[in-house]
Amino acid sequence: MWCRIDYCVGVIGSIVPLAAMLVTASCSVAQVRGIDDSVIEQWNAYHTFSRQLQGKAARTATGLVSGHTYGYQSSFRQNRECAMICSPLGDQAFEFCMLANPRYTAEVKRSLSDPGKVLLQFVAPTPDATPPSAASPVGEAIFVETSPHFTYCSKKLAEVVTDPAFRVNNVTRVPSDGQELVRLDVSYVYDVGGNVKKQSKRKGSLYFDPKRKWCLRKVTESEELFVNGAPDQTTDWTTEYEVRDHASGFPIIVKQTITTDGYSHRSKRKTGAKIQIDYELDTTDKMPNADFTLSAFGLPEPVGVTWERPTPTYVWVLTAAGGCGLLALLFRYLGRRKPSASTA
């Protein structure tokens, strides 16, 4: 259940372009496919910026039926070429770290009580492989995790709005806390993917913030999930995104609140949960590639993979000292020659 909730959380962020196009260009519903290029440019610029995001997210989930609460914390690190997500995934004894660099993708299992105990779970000789504990390649997964307000169906906004199955039925401007949001009433049918044939049918409203790069601020929708063609789950979703303004001009996610209320056709029971995700994210572009390797976990690199080692600091110090010594000798030599030249 938790995996399905996480999936839908990421699903909520990809309709922003439609709103921008419909509002700025005053397009009709029939013209909704003509996405405004300026909106696409803003999303693409945010995607580039997002590779600087580092930090953690604390997730707390409470079952509305059972009343049980559980939570865990995930951490994120990345740069332009590499990405890593570490999370216990509900396991209280271990955390799973999924990493990708230009040479390979890997997943390791590490003891939380003894970080020195690490087990290699998976490795593939490509940066875009999908680890066992992820639903997509690490680079894509970390974008969904750190930027849910810019994703929908675990994809970037610009990708989803070009899907013919995505429909916009109405567009309105609505006031919200002293600002104006754009509400899109939509419907969307898509294949969830995985080993079992699953199809999701969604209908609802998505609220976008045109002053903050058209990021998503709220979603209210209903979903019918079918497995192998048979009804499996019916769920009502409400998701809200709290963001903060960053010096870059891009909004950074601060908190995400998801409430679900549903019914399982399989178990004939009500389902539901309230999930709160609190983010502590900052930006830096100084994460070295060496931090995203198996060597960083004390494990050997895959066969055939070697990394260029940085020159030790002491070598640079000795080189600089040697250069200074040579300059001192040169100046001393020239100083001795000058008097004899003037005497002649």
From CA 42, how far away is CA 250, in angstroms rounded?
9
- Of the pLDDT bands very low, low, confident and very high (cuts 50, 70, 90), residue 339 is low
pLDDT in tens, 215-245: 999 999 999 999 999 999 999 999 999 999 9
Mean of pLDDT values over 75-91: 92
* Closest by CA position to 275, among listed 305, 237, 249, 307: 237
Q: Which contiguous run of DSSP H or E holds residue 274? A: strand 269-283
From CA 239, how far away is CA 8, in angstroms rounded?
10
Mean of pLDDT values over 137-145: 96
Residue spans of alpha helices (H) in 123-225: 138-146, 157-160
Q: Which contiguous run of DSSP H or E holds residue 234? A: strand 230-245
pLDDT in tens, 293-329: 999 999 999 998 888 765 454 444 455 555 565 666 6
- Of the pLDDT bands very low, low, confident and very high (cuts 50, 70, 90), residue 162 is confident
Mean of pLDDT values over 259-271: 94
DSSP 8-state code for residue 285: S
- Please calculate the CA angle 208-159-98 and round it to the nearest 5 degrees: 100
From CA 253, how far away is CA 147, in angstroms rounded?
7
* Cβ–Cβ under 8 Å, residues 83 and 50: no
From CA 7, how far away is CA 303, in angstroms rounded?
34
- Of the pLDDT bands very low, low, confident and very high (cuts 50, 70, 90), residue 333 is low
Mean of pLDDT values over 67-73: 91
Question: For tokens 């004894």, what's the residue?
Answer: 93
CA-based max dimension of the chain: 111
Mean of pLDDT values over 145-154: 90
From CA 21, how far away is CA 36, in angstroms rounded?
5
Does the structure show a pLDDT above 70 at 183?
yes
* Cβ–Cβ under 8 Å, residues 134 and 157: no
Of residues 269 and 15, the one with the higher pLDDT is 269
Share of the chain above pLDDT 70, in %: 79
- Number of C-beta neighbours around residue 288 at 10 A: 11
